[in-house]
Structure 1
Amino acid sequence: MIVTLIVACEIAFWVLLAAGLALRYLAKMPGLGAAVLLCEPLLEVVLLVVTAVDLKNGGDPDWKHGLAAVYIGFTVGLGHSTIRWVDARVAHRFAGGPPPVKPPKYGMARAAHEWRVAGRWTVAAVTALALLQGAVWYVGGDGDVVSLRSWQRTMLFVIGINLVIAGSYTVFPKRDPRGRPKRVPGAPG
């Protein structure tokens, strides 16, 4: 049941996103479109409640409960940026908005971009870690929490990988092949 709900939440996320953006740009109802987009967090609340009820009713904590926590964490950490990314493209395509801004390719500007990305992934993973730890405490010492602990290790790995990637762009910045130095936006000079 939990996996089905996770899939339903993911589908509902994209349906709400499409409906909100359609109302915003095609139907010219930006207020209603924003209201629909603000319903997105309700999906995670429903998933969290159903997962907690399942555990409370004696469900064995397994990979599905961990996946639910990870899904919620990733929605918290990456959901807003995903919505902004899609919104910029829909606004450009259907409402005459400016072309979406592409991330910088070179130098410290690219490194700063990678640190922002790593920050979003870290928020996602830390949120999942907190939810997983909450589930471990909720189940208590009598339950088998091995799968939840496994998900926690995976989230630590996700944080580590993102920090290594961002750090590598800082220590070894990619150079512009045309030889021009790239400025960081907002930097003097």
Structure 2
Amino acid sequence: MNMSLVAWAIAASEVLFWVVILIGLIARYKFGRKKLGLFFLALTPVIDIFLLVTTSIDLHRGATATVAHALAGVYIGVSLAFGSSMIKWADERFRYYVTKQGDKPAKRYGMDHARHYFKGWIRHVIAFAIGAGMLYGLILYIDDPQRTEAIRGVLRLWSIIVGIDLLITVTYFIWPREPKKVGK
């Protein structure tokens, strides 16, 4: 396997994630098949396993780790940490905008927005812990600094991004988000 195939596996995983969610929501709301909808929504971790296996096989066969390999770890961490909240987000919007049921998804302001963003940052830290743990595991498994330099670079960048996300989170507590003013 080469880098482009791993990159394609990541892209396919992302597309499949949203396709499976959409099918699950359609089954649930348009056809009233709640169990079938739940089945499709529960398939999202299978997509992560596919990506993990694809990446692992490639590296086991001797490939030098690339940014695509590292992004597979990032994707899996983000998918596991944010997956349920992304599904809930999609569910609320699908129910309101497509089926015209339920309440309009609320916009968050002030301390409510700050707390919500903080919870998102905590999920980001969890995603980082999962993804970085997998990537460090790959570094230890490959045991060749030259073959894992791309992974180390992605880990350094992701560490900085988590720090920047914390700074943004803190700003929402200092300067809470206000509703947009409509006209004067």
Range into which the TM-score falls when normalised by the shorter chain: 0.7 to 0.9
1:97 alignment partner, one of 97, 102, 110: 102
**Is the contact made by 1:126 and 1:155 (CA closer than 8 Å) also made in structure 2?**
no
Counterpart residue type for residue 102 of structure 2: G
Q: Classify 1:81/1:141 alpha carbon distance in 2 versus 1 (closer, same or farther; 3 Å).
A: same
Counterpart residue type for residue 59 of structure 1: A
Question: Structure 1 residue 170 and structure 2 residue 161: aligned?
Answer: no
Identity of aligned residues (%): 30
* Equivalent position of 1:37 in the other structure: 41
Q: Classify 1:97/1:133 alpha carbon distance in 2 versus 1 (closer, same or farther; 3 Å).
A: same
2:65 alignment partner, one of 56, 61, 64: 61
Question: Structure 1 residue 24 and structure 2 residue 28: aligned?
Answer: yes
TM normalised by structure 2 equals: 0.88
TM normalised by structure 1 equals: 0.86
Counterpart residue type for residue 52 of structure 2: L
Q: Classify 1:134/1:89 alpha carbon distance in 2 versus 1 (closer, same or farther; 3 Å).
A: same
Quote the RMSD (CA, aligned, Å): 1.9
* Equivalent position of 1:136 in the other structure: 139
Q: CA deviation at 1:173?
A: 3.4
Aligned partners of 2:71 and 2:178: how far apart in 1? 39
Q: CA deviation at 1:39?
A: 0.5
Counterpart secondary structure, 1:71: helix
**Is the contact made by 1:125 and 1:158 (CA closer than 8 Å) also made in structure 2?**
no
**Is the contact made by 1:128 and 1:155 (CA closer than 8 Å) also made in structure 2?**
no
Q: CA deviation at 1:20?
A: 0.3
Aligned partners of 2:41 and 2:163: how far apart in 1? 31
5 Å-filtered alignment, 1:6-17, equals 6-17=10-21
Counterpart residue type for residue 23 of structure 2: A
Aligned partners of 1:100 and 1:170: how far apart in 2? 22
**Is the contact made by 1:115 and 1:166 (CA closer than 8 Å) also made in structure 2?**
yes
Aligned partners of 2:42 and 2:91: how far apart in 1? 14
Q: CA deviation at 1:110?
A: 2.5
Aligned partners of 2:129 and 2:164: how far apart in 1? 14
Can you list the C-alpha shifts for 1:149-184, whole angstroms capped at 9, x where unaligned? 001111111210111111122234356799xxxxxx
Q: Classify 1:175/1:57 alpha carbon distance in 2 versus 1 (closer, same or farther; 3 Å).
A: closer
**Is the contact made by 1:77 and 1:121 (CA closer than 8 Å) also made in structure 2?**
yes
Counterpart secondary structure, 1:68: helix
Can you list the C-alpha shifts for 1:82-101, whole angstroms capped at 9, x where unaligned? 11111001112305122212
* Equivalent position of 2:56 in the other structure: 52
Structure 1: state its 5+ residue gaps: 179-189
Aligned partners of 2:45 and 2:180: how far apart in 1? 43
